Amino acid sequence: MFSKILIANRGEIAVRILRACRTLGVEAVVAYSEADRESLAVQQADEAICIGPADAKRSYLSAPAVISAAIVSGCDAIHPGYGFLSEDEGFAEVVRAHGLTFIGPPPQVLERFASKEATRRLLGAQGLATIPGSNGMLRDDLHGLEEAERIGYPVLIKPSAGGGGKGMRMVRTPRELEAALKICRSEARAAFGDDSLYLEKWLEDNRHVEVQVAVDRFGHGVHLGERDCSVQRRHQKFLEEAPTPALGDAARGELADRAIRAIVAAGYENVGTLEFLVDPAGKAYFIEINCRIQVEHPITEMLTGIDLVVTQIRIAAGEPLGFSQADVTLRGHALEFRINAEDTQHDFRPSSGVVERYLAPGGPGVRVDSHLFTGYEVPPFYDSLLGKLIVWGPDRPTAIARSLVALDELVIDGLVTNLAIHQALLRNETFLAGKMTTNLVDRVGAAAFLAAAAR
């Protein structure tokens, strides 16, 4: 095991990683930007180190700052959390060059899965159905038009790098495609420094289902079930649940089994998530892999009782997994609500300010992962995630009933939050029937969706 880990992230995930380190009895150092000086992770940490100014490019996204901080504070490993440097194979390589361990897949594994398009071919060869798409990256607009014609409209433009909905756009005509390619290219360049794009067949009324896997250095891998992340707004997930209501038990098991077989065969290592689109007939198409801990990992922890961050650290330290597929049992149903500082009344505009009063809900099945506290000033420089409310129940209706109570109990005064969209969802018939698709909110628009629920 490592002797000391640098936590190179902020917000709720820094708090979460700190908990994992302390549970393992490993020392941890929280790396923070000037804007996060008063953050909960810094306050809870035994040791914290300022790595740069508020601007993420000069702090959380600066590989030299992060690695230098790890070296001078005596760390032997770096946990990148999600976002920021977490999927940057160049960063992982430099970390290794400095004799430190990147907590995640080793650099050569990250590199193998760095291109979404290549990953699709790699796992397609291992027996996963993949969504029809362009043959490699788009060389230019003409190539894009030809490939879209071949695949058939509508198609989804996707960037090779990154995630979170940036540089993604669905188009229904060649004319829309041409216009969108330019926008996506500049968005992708701005967000990821890489403007390579590719195309995917767009499935109407699809579901987003992902399989959580964990593979150790010795090629021993297990899946930890799947999660349903169909509830999205503009390609951004904001409510996840498990198990997925989209598939029956047999189909869920089969999907997860195929995923873990393919990813072990492809030489993956550490925790990761395989994302699939599921069409109305229940057929699952692999779309991409996330080589890091996901925001929505807690719902899998609620079902399996397995600590995914601890597992991730152990694997990175070279330990064997220590449990087999038979040891993984899923119990009950869990939902995760991303609580964002967003104004649902004004196009989900991010908000910031001081948390005048914060009170987390409690009781059976309720877990809160958050970095809030009464008096915390939310800085305006980073993403709008304030925390996650995770609610477990023995079955989906109970989990939903408890969620309504917990959402009602949650007090965050002083900030505008997106609580209203969660409450609207829990009163939406399509959602309650478990029939939500990725276009549930966007089809009518979030404003209309909220208004409909209020009636």
Partner 1 sequence: MPDRDEAARLVDHAQIEGLADELLPALIAKLGATGLGELELREGDWRVRLRRSADGAGAAAKGALGRSTRSGPGHLDHAHPAAPEAPRDAYRSAATSPAVGVYHPRPEIASGSRVRAGDRIGSVDVLGIPQEVVAPVNGIVGAGLVENGDAVEYGQELVWIELISTPAERGGRDA
- Enzyme catalytic residues: 292
Cβ proximity to partner 1, 43 vs 126, nearer residue: 43
Length of the chain: 455
Return the structure tokens found at 285: 């198409």
Min dist. Cβ of residue 352 to a copy of itself (A): 20
Kindly state whether residue 3 participates in binding a copy of itself, applying the rule CB under 8 A.
no
Q: Residue 72: enclosing H or E segment and its boundaries?
A: helix 63-72
**Chain center to CA of 279:** 21
Phi, psi of 402 (to 5 degrees): -65, -35
Return the structure tokens found at 450: 């909220």
Kindly state whether residue 38 participates in binding a copy of itself, applying the rule CB under 8 A.
no
- CA-to-CA separations, 162 to 31, 37, 62, 88, 384, in angstroms, rounded: 23, 28, 17, 9, 18
Return the structure tokens found at 301: 């922890």
Cβ proximity to partner 1, 65 vs 246, nearer residue: 65
Residues 144 and 181 sit within 8 Å (Cβ to Cβ):
yes
3-class DSSP string for 187-237: HHHHHHCCCCEEEEECCCCCEEEEEEEEECCCCCEEEEEEEEEEEEECCEE
Cβ proximity to a copy of itself, 198 vs 358, nearer residue: 358
Q: Residue 394 class from Cβ within 10 Å (0-12 exposed, 13-18 middle, 19+ buried)?
A: exposed
Cβ proximity to partner 1, 179 vs 354, nearer residue: 354
Min dist. Cβ of residue 300 to a copy of itself (A): 10
Please choose which of a copy of itself, partner 1, none residue 405 contacts, taking the beta carbon within 5 to 8 angstroms, the exact cut-off set by kind. a copy of itself
- Best CA proximity match to 319, nearest among 220, 418, 428, 200: 220
| Binder of a copy of itself out of 22, 189, 217, 396 (CB under 8 A) | 22
Please choose which of partner 1, a copy of itself, none residue 34 contacts, taking the beta carbon within 5 to 8 angstroms, the exact cut-off set by kind. partner 1
Distance CA 275, CA 218 (A): 24
Phi, psi of 103 (to 5 degrees): -85, 100
Residues that bind partner 1 (CB under 8 A): 4, 27, 31, 34, 37-38, 40, 43-44, 46-53, 59, 64-65, 67-69, 71-74, 98, 354-357, 359, 373-377, 411, 413-414
Distance CA 8, CA 162 (A): 18
Distance CA 441, CA 425 (A): 9
Kindly state whether residue 16 participates in binding a copy of itself, applying the rule CB under 8 A.
yes
Q: Residue 435 class from Cβ within 10 Å (0-12 exposed, 13-18 middle, 19+ buried)?
A: middle
Kindly state whether residue 212 participates in binding a copy of itself, applying the rule CB under 8 A.
no
Residues 55 and 382 sit within 8 Å (Cβ to Cβ):
no
Min dist. Cβ of residue 14 to partner 1 (A): 14
Cβ proximity to partner 1, 9 vs 115, nearer residue: 9
Cβ proximity to a copy of itself, 235 vs 371, nearer residue: 371
Cβ proximity to a copy of itself, 14 vs 51, nearer residue: 14
Kindly state whether residue 319 participates in binding a copy of itself, applying the rule CB under 8 A.
no
Cβ neighbours for 332, distance < 8 A, ≥ 6 positions apart:
302, 303, 392, 393, 394, 395, 399
Residues 248 and 281 sit within 8 Å (Cβ to Cβ):
no
Please choose which of partner 1, a copy of itself, none residue 191 contacts, taking the beta carbon within 5 to 8 angstroms, the exact cut-off set by kind. none
Q: Which of residues 397-426 bind a copy of itself (CB under 8 A)?
A: 398, 401-402, 404-405, 408-409, 411
Min dist. Cβ of residue 154 to a copy of itself (A): 40
Kindly write out the interface string for residues 43-62 of this chain, putting x where it contacts a copy of itself by CB under 8 A and - elsewhere.
-x------------------
Kindly state whether residue 326 participates in binding a copy of itself, applying the rule CB under 8 A.
no
Phi, psi of 248 (to 5 degrees): -75, 170
Min dist. Cβ of residue 129 to partner 1 (A): 44
| Binder of a copy of itself out of 236, 352, 374, 439 (CB under 8 A) | 374
Interacting residues with a copy of itself (CB under 8 A) = 15-16, 19, 22-25, 44, 298, 301, 305-307, 329, 331-332, 357-360, 362-370, 373-375, 392, 394, 398, 401-402, 404-405, 408-409, 411
